[in-house]
Each structure stands twice: as structure tokens, then as C-alpha cells.
A = this chain, B = another copy of it.
Amino acid sequence: MIHVGIIGFGTVGTGTARILLGNRSILKERTGIDINLKKIADIDIKRDRGLKLPKGVLTPKADELLNDPEIDIVVELIGGTAIAKEMVLKAIDKGKHVVTANKALLATHGPEIFRAAGKHKVEIGFEASVAGGIPIVKVVREGLVANRIKAVYGIINGTSNYILTKMTEEKAEFSEVLKEAQKLGYAEADPTYDIEGIDSAHKLAILASLSYGSQYSIRDVHCEGISWISPMDIEFARELGYKIKLLAIAKETDGKVELRVHPTMIPEEYLISKVDGVFNAVYVEGDAVGSTLYYGRGAGDMPTGSAVVADIADISRNIVNGAHGRLSFSVSRKAKNLMKMEDVRSMYYFRFSALDKPGVLSKISGILGKYNISIVSVIQKGRREGKAVPLVVLTHMAREKDVVSAIREINRLSVVADKAAIIRVEGQENG
């Protein structure tokens, strides 16, 4: 019998407990191991979580659990990076295996935690830290182990995907939809982490570390959010055959790894552009397997609990077979080989606010040409002589550095009324 202790009895803690209790017999059937939820520690032991726990399981003291010699696996579900880190390091120090759903913790203090785990020969399970219930960590680390990973793209933040989906369906403003999402519980009171791409960047750092064998952190990820996206951009994207999604992208090109999170235009016929609402999806391209996609719920008590319990089952199998460390988090490459953002190449969508008068397009396209940015198509909407109208330009592949220079110069033109909106475009270079 394997004994488990959970620290943190919030949403995911409750889901995890519900699965461990409710599916105990199924788990035994499927793994041959009896997994016992022995303790749950939380400062609030009063609140009703709608879950009947056996007597004596709930305790206000995490130490009671950390000091219990019978407990094999400690599950950290507190969140944040301060107390969570302390608890995780304590558990490791006491020789306990750890399962966590905490992407912020791993993307910030990963190296320290994995070093400690290596020293004490314990395992760290972190399936639930990326894309909730989708077993993407296992897929990248084991299922696609035969592949050189060429690219990993993901919609890995449900809140921002919900907002962009609603903006698209209802032609609504960002702020309006955000308020609605907060009311429905899909966005937090302080939504910064979700809408500014930080949560996605945490998860991308973890996916990239698995894919490219080095320890990437949140600091290695170029990160832009969605709060400035307007219904106008969504509508232009639609006219051009694209959807706008907040995409987390890791790619290896010529030995360099690029890591970036930003609003992205994706051809609407791509499967990933049909991933709507709070759902997540991760696209993985391997040199042998080609294109693959993994889709499911990226958050919530039960989906995230499903991933937590999968880690518990995996570690239990290793304990029973005396094989801990079987799948240690191997970081084989020291060098991060990061591509500088300025060297990243992409296609682009620009929306200029340009005065409707002769010669403006020629001026703008002249500057783009000077910086080696060639144009695929141009849309100009509305005629308001002498006034500002949107001028949309779609480009071929261009270098970020050139784009930054060109846009700076264009923004300074007297015929340009406002700063340009810039969205990177994914898809096949056509033409």
C-alpha cells in the first residue's frame, strides 16, 4: 500500500482527493497498487468542500504530514512560490516523492528543486503543471521520446482562450468579456497572470525544458498578452482566413531555441484554431512522428486532479518496483541555446492607423521594403478623406529586428495617427 499526503485543500486539492477516494478501486484495478489518501493539510479545515473525508485525514498542520514516516508521496497544491517551495524542499529532504501542479514554482525554482530531488533520490511529478488534464508531459517525455522535437505550440491558458473565443463569437470588446469571465469564475479578480501571458510562459518553460533538454525558466520566454487585442483585429483576421489565439511557442531552428508567448494569427483550417472556450490544446511536431495534437481541459478540479493522480500512480509503480529515478528529469544540455527575440523570424500582421490620402501606402510600403519586409496583401477599409482609417498589411517571413525598426519609423510618420498593432502569423509561408 502506498500512502499519500496532500498539502493544500483548494480546488485542485479537492479534485485530487475526490479521485483518490472515489476511484480507489479503479486505480487498484489498473495499477495493481492500493493507493491510500492518508492526510490532507490545509489552514482552513472548516470550509465544506462537498466531500466526505474519513476521520482524521484533515489536519491544519503540514508538518504532521511531512513528519509521517508512512507517507511516501507528498502532493503540493498550495500554489504560489514561497510556502510551496518551502514545503516541497522539506518533503524532498525527508525522502518523500513529490507531485505538484505548480507551474510558477517549477518555472522559477525548477533547477533548485530538481537538484534537491536528485540528491535525495526522490521523484518530482509535475504532469498537472501544464495543460491540466492533458497528459502532455508524459507524451513529450515518453510517448514521443524517439523524436527530435521540431516545435511545440500550445493554447495553454484557458482564461485567455475563453476571452478570445467570446470576443470572436460576440464581436465584443476585451474589457467587457473579461468582466463577464470574472463573473463566471473563468478569470480571477486579478487576471494579470492569465491575460498577460505569464501563466502560459511558465508552462512553456516547462514544455521547452522537456523538449530541448535544458532548464528553461520564465525569464527565457518572450511574453506578450492579449489585453490590447481589438474586435477590429479579430475581424480583419477572419477576413484574411485566420483566428487569433494566445499561443505559447517553442521551436528549434538551426540549433537555436525560440520561446515566445503572444497573440498569434493561425490559419482557420488548422485544427488548433478550432480549440475554443476554456479548452487547451498542444501541437507537437517531431522529426519522426510529424504533426500531432493533444486536446482537453487545461484547468478545473477534476481534470487537473486526473493529472495529479496519474503522477501518483506512476511514482507508486516505481516505488513498488524499486525503480525510482526511472524517469528522472534529465537535463542533458547545459547550454540553453536561446535564440534572441530580435533574430526570430515570423510572418506579420500590421494594422496601421493611416490618414486616408494619396501616397500613404507608398510611404509605408517603402519603409517596409527598406527593411527587407515584403508584403503578401494589403487591406484598406473605409474611405474618410484626410482622416485616419485602418490599413492592414500581411507580410512574408521577416526578422523581428527589422520589424521593430520599420514599425518605429512608420509610427513616426506624420500621416500615421496611432501606433501600429502587430500580430505574428503562423502557418505555411504561401508564395
Contacts and interface: CB of A to CB of B under 8 A. Distances in A.
A302 B290 contact: yes
Contact of A291 (B297, B307, B322): B297
The majority secondary structure among interface residues of chain A is: mixed
Given A322-B322, A323-B318, A143 B147 contact: no
B145 A27 contact: yes
A297 B302 CA distance: 29
A23 to B, nearest CB: 6
B27 A134 contact: no
Interface string A230-263: 0000000000000000000000000000000000
Interface string A294-314: 111100101101111110011
B146 A135 contact: no
Most buried by B among A23, A133, A143, A275: A143
A274 interface: yes
Given A288-B15, A288-B19, A310-B145, A295 B295 contact: yes
A288 B135 contact: no
B23 A146 contact: yes
Contacts of A47: none
A110 interface: no
Interface string A7-29: 00000000100010001001101
Contact of A146 (B27, B271, B294): B27
A289 B295 contact: no
Contacts of A142: 135, 138, 310, 313-314
A318 B322 CA distance: 10
Contacts of A308: 146
A148 B288 contact: no
Interface stretch (A326-334, A353-361, A391-399): A326-334
Contacts of A26: 147-148
Contacts of A303: 288-290
Contact of A133 (B213, B274, B288, B306): B288
B306 A296 contact: no
Contact of A274 (B271, B323, B333): B271
A321 interface: yes
Given A144-B310, A145-B27, A291 B296 contact: yes
A237 to B, nearest CB: 19
Interface in A103-145: 127, 133-135, 138-139, 141-145
Contacts of A310: 142-146
Interface of A: 15, 19, 23, 26-27, 29-32, 127, 133-135, 138-139, 141-148, 213, 271, 274-275, 286-297, 300, 302-303, 305-310, 313-314, 317-318, 321-323, 325-328, 330, 332-333
18 contacts: A15-B288, A29-B213, A30-B332, A133-B286, A135-B138, A138-B138, A142-B310, A142-B314, A143-B310, A286-B306, A289-B296, A289-B297, A289-B303, A293-B296, A317-B326, A317-B327, A318-B321, A318-B326
Given A29-B213, A146-B310, 16 more contacts: A19-B288, A23-B287, A31-B330, A32-B328, A32-B330, A133-B288, A142-B314, A145-B310, A145-B313, A146-B308, A147-B306, A290-B297, A290-B303, A294-B294, A318-B326, A322-B322
